[in-house]
Amino acid sequence: MDSPLRCPQCGALVVDRRFAACTSCHAELPVDWVLSEEQISKLAAIDQSARAEHAAAMSEMDEENEPDSTVTLTDESTTSSP
Ligand SMILES: [Zn+2]
């Protein structure tokens, strides 16, 4: 696995590899640490699909919880109508 990159100047973890500068001390980082636009768009696509999966999982949980609230809503409507 890739070991985390650290700034050669201040030793801060390089978390955002879209920019060729340390986020802590703004020292220049080796050019090959910086991701290309192609790599960034790939990462963005992976991130998006992960979020979509998460959203789908969350909506599934919502559906499981929903019957309770709909039952109370239908109860109220049946009592008001003759
Ligand atoms: Zn630094």
What pTM value is reported for the model?
0.47
Average pLDDT, the chain: 83
CA of 25 to the centre of ligand 1 (A): 4
Residue 72 lies in a domain: no
pLDDT for the residue 4 = 83
Q: What is the DSSP string of the chain?
A: -PPPPB-TTT--B---TTSSB-TTT--B--GGGSPPHHHHHHHHHHHHHHHHHHHHHHHHHHHHHHHHHHHHHHHHHHHH--
Please check whether residue 31 is in contact with residue 20, taking contact to mean a CB–CB distance below 8 angstroms: yes
Residues 47 and 25 in one domain: no
Give the Å distance between the CA of 28 and the centre of ligand 1. 8
Show the domain range for 54: 42-66
Shared domain for 30 and 58, answered yes or no, is: no
21 alpha carbon – ligand 1 mean position (Å):
8
Give pLDDT tens digits for 16-54.
Answer: 888 889 999 999 999 888 888 899 899 999 999 999 999
Name the domain count of the chain.
2
Instruction: Please report the pLDDT score of residue 76 as a whole number.
Output: 60
Q: What is the pLDDT of residue 47?
A: 95
**Does 2 score more than 80 pLDDT?**
no
Does the residue 25 lie in any domain? yes
Q: Is residue 81 part of a domain?
A: no
Report yes or no on 71 lying in a domain: no
In terms of domains, do 1 and 24 share one?
Answer: yes
